[in-house]
Structure 1
Amino acid sequence: MRANVWKELENYFLILLGTALMAIAIQWIFDRVGLITGGFTGLTIIIRNLTEALLPGGIPLWLTNIVLNIPIFLYSYIRFGKNYIGKTGFATILLSVWLYLIPVIDMSGDDYMLAALFGGAFTGIGMALVLKAGATTGGTDMVAAIIQSHMRHYTVVQVMQVLDAAIVILGLYVFGLRPTLYAVVSIFVSTKISDAFLEGFKTSKAAFIITNRYEEVAERLMDELDRGVTGLHAQGMYTEEKKCVLYCVVSRKEIVRVKEIVNDVDSSAFVIVSDVREVLGEGFLEYSDDF
């Protein structure tokens, strides 16, 4: 029971920190140079810019974010129930609170590349922390889920991509081509960083080895590298010959030695090497409550 309480507290702390980083990216970087990276946050920047002529400073970002999300949350509550909203409601409100509290600072000046890189980095880390806590910040995520519930032949991701692309195109109309191109760079950076945080930074290598001398190769891999090797029963579809394919996961620096061993035993062997993330088990990452 106590472990569950601490886990929930940890999740809310992650949401607190993640939304703060996202708000910093919006207030200090994106809003200053007009980088529209999609989502309701991008829409709030567009609305603030368009209303500057009517209201000094335009409509505040935090206010627009709340106003846009209120009908979405009400509809989601009616359609999906209160369990669906959960932490996402907390994250959405908290993001608006941070946008209200964090002072406006011009962090990147007129350097669009710095804005794209650091804005993407802050957003990517912040979003990863929020997602790790089992929440989102509402916005186009929920809109996409609502639309997909009526259009089942599309996925939520597909609908969300269309919505975000439309917001980016709207940003092109409001801010011009240059900020929009750098916004694409920022989207790429934030996606890569978010994936890295969620999937883990420690990458390993997996090798599939097809050789007629599989027993000798497997023995040397186990003896010299102290790594486990799995034999997979396979059949060549051209020759219809039964084969044993060796599967072995090693660290990045050990893959060189794997290829040397295979080449030494059977220079005609066929080897496929691929990247893997978060290898759990003996010799790699240990299991924990986060996995």
Structure 2
Amino acid sequence: MPANRSVYADYLFLLIGSGLMAFAIQTIYSPADLVTGGFTGVAIIVKSISGKWMDSGIPLWLTNTILNIPLFIAAIRIKGVRFLGRTGFATLALSVWLYLIPDKPMMTDDLVLASLFGGAISGAGMGLVLLARGTTGGTDMLAVLVQHYMKHYTIAQVMQVIDAAVVLAGAFLFGISNALYAVIAIIVVSRITDGIIEGLKFSKVAYIITDRYEEVAAAIMKETNRGATGLIAKGMYSGKYRNMLFCVVSKKEIVLLKEIVINTDPDAFVIVTDAREVHGEGFIEHRKQGV
């Protein structure tokens, strides 16, 4: 996370992210009967069932709020007030967005588009929320509380069981076909969320084997303003020890790095690979955690 991003920016991310999630839920998931897990999935089920005896059914925002209230009370008692912070804000924002966004169906006739675009929009929202170190409560918080008493299970495992139960309930109510499309939406959400989180932190690692390592290192440090580390490596075929340079750069800088190496030593052997996250000066710099 960038060191220069303020707490206010984080809360803006939470607000925008929860709004995108609410938009997907209110205009795509709910009208198409796609239950993708979580308390919002439960809310879709409750709205459908209650719609049989009341006009339009119980609103999504109301069910989401009611289900989260006891969780927040339990979380305050078990984890303390500071545990809520951003999660409390994001959860409240999600309910408010669900209340404000009009219930206007989109793509109800095409479940493929509904699952793909609903997953993309919801995944983008979830990515922003997670970037700001928050969650929208629901099964995330429930999993944390359950794991507090069942420590032999991980939070991820508890969440998978809870969400799977919600999806199965949706399959029972809306049919297996809708449930399978909901699974597609879940996969899309996961991929988009990961892409947003990891994409902003994505870097490149270069391993450079060259006899002119001092010249190459000097050129890299001068042209890219990045450091380079010399590692002693042994060629198993020749039995000779050589210096190998190790350098981490941004995606935009990798082209320049390769040009520098080739221009300095055309015979250099270069291996380029991905780095999911790089923490330290010039990349992800740490800052004190806000509320």
Both proteins in one fold, TM over 0.5 = yes
Query: After superposition, where does 1:54-69 map in structure 2 within 5 Å?
Result: 54-69=53-68
The answer to whether the 8 A contact 1:221-1:261 is kept is: no
The answer to whether the 8 A contact 2:216-2:265 is kept is: no
The answer to whether the 8 A contact 1:217-1:261 is kept is: no
Asked if residue 253 in structure 1 is aligned to residue 255 in structure 2, the reply is: yes
User: 1:24 Cα deviation (Å)?
Assistant: 0.7
2:89 maps to which residue?
Answer: 90
> What is the CA–CA distance in structure 2 between the aligned matches of 1:228 and 1:60, rounded to whole Å?
56
User: 1:23 Cα deviation (Å)?
Assistant: 1.0
User: 1:136 Cα deviation (Å)?
Assistant: 1.4
1:118 maps to which residue?
Answer: 117
SS at 1:11 equivalent: helix
Between 1 and 2, higher relative CO (CA 8 Å, sep ≥ 6) is seen in 2
SS at 2:88 equivalent: helix
Cα gap change, 1:232 to 1:21, in 2 (>3 Å): same
> What is the CA–CA distance in structure 2 between the aligned matches of 1:242 and 1:168, rounded to whole Å?
58
> What is the CA–CA distance in structure 2 between the aligned matches of 1:242 and 1:169, rounded to whole Å?
59
> What is the CA–CA distance in structure 2 between the aligned matches of 1:167 and 1:286, rounded to whole Å?
37
> What is the CA–CA distance in structure 1 between the aligned matches of 2:207 and 2:8, rounded to whole Å?
42
| Amino acid across the alignment from 2:267 | V
User: 1:280 Cα deviation (Å)?
Assistant: 6.3
SS at 1:265 equivalent: coil
Q: Work out the percentage of aligned pairs sharing the same amino acid.
A: 46
SS at 1:206 equivalent: strand
User: 1:244 Cα deviation (Å)?
Assistant: 4.0
> What is the CA–CA distance in structure 2 between the aligned matches of 1:48 and 1:165, rounded to whole Å?
19
Asked if residue 75 in structure 1 is aligned to residue 74 in structure 2, the reply is: yes
> What is the CA–CA distance in structure 2 between the aligned matches of 1:45 and 1:166, rounded to whole Å?
14
| Amino acid across the alignment from 1:90 | F
SS at 1:144 equivalent: helix
1:168 maps to which residue?
Answer: 167
The answer to whether the 8 A contact 2:278-2:284 is kept is: no
1:265 maps to which residue?
Answer: 267
SS at 2:135 equivalent: coil
> What is the CA–CA distance in structure 2 between the aligned matches of 1:205 and 1:95, rounded to whole Å?
36
* Structure 1 unaligned residues grouped into runs of 5+: none
Query: 1:146-184 deviations in whole A, cap 9, x for unaligned?
Result: 111112122212221222222222222222233222222
> What is the CA–CA distance in structure 1 between the aligned matches of 2:63 and 2:187, rounded to whole Å?
25
User: 1:80 Cα deviation (Å)?
Assistant: 1.4
User: 1:112 Cα deviation (Å)?
Assistant: 1.9
The answer to whether the 8 A contact 2:45-2:170 is kept is: yes
> What is the CA–CA distance in structure 1 between the aligned matches of 2:154 and 2:202, rounded to whole Å?
29
The answer to whether the 8 A contact 2:202-2:274 is kept is: no
Query: After superposition, where does 1:43-54 map in structure 2 within 5 Å?
Result: 43-54=42-53
Asked if residue 130 in structure 1 is aligned to residue 122 in structure 2, the reply is: no
Query: 1:107-165 deviations in whole A, cap 9, x for unaligned?
Result: 22312232222212221222223233332111111111111111212221222122222
The answer to whether the 8 A contact 1:92-1:138 is kept is: yes
The answer to whether the 8 A contact 2:208-2:270 is kept is: yes
Give TM-score, length-normalised by structure 2. Answer: 0.79
Cα gap change, 1:208 to 1:109, in 2 (>3 Å): same
* Structure 2 unaligned residues grouped into runs of 5+: none
Query: After superposition, where does 1:146-161 map in structure 2 within 5 Å?
Result: 146-161=145-160
Farther-moved stretch of structure 1 (155-164 vs 198-207)? 198-207
Farther-moved stretch of structure 1 (47-56 vs 99-108)? 47-56
- RMSD between aligned alpha carbons? 3.6
The answer to whether the 8 A contact 1:172-1:179 is kept is: yes
The answer to whether the 8 A contact 1:22-1:122 is kept is: yes
SS at 1:253 equivalent: helix
User: 1:27 Cα deviation (Å)?
Assistant: 0.5
> What is the CA–CA distance in structure 1 between the aligned matches of 2:257 and 2:178, rounded to whole Å?
42
Cα gap change, 1:113 to 1:179, in 2 (>3 Å): same
| Amino acid across the alignment from 1:253 | V
SS at 1:58 equivalent: coil
What is the count of residue pairs matched by the alignment?
283
Farther-moved stretch of structure 1 (242-251 vs 64-73)? 242-251
Asked if residue 274 in structure 1 is aligned to residue 265 in structure 2, the reply is: no
| Amino acid across the alignment from 1:121 | A
> What is the CA–CA distance in structure 1 between the aligned matches of 2:18 and 2:223, rounded to whole Å?
47
User: 1:247 Cα deviation (Å)?
Assistant: 1.1
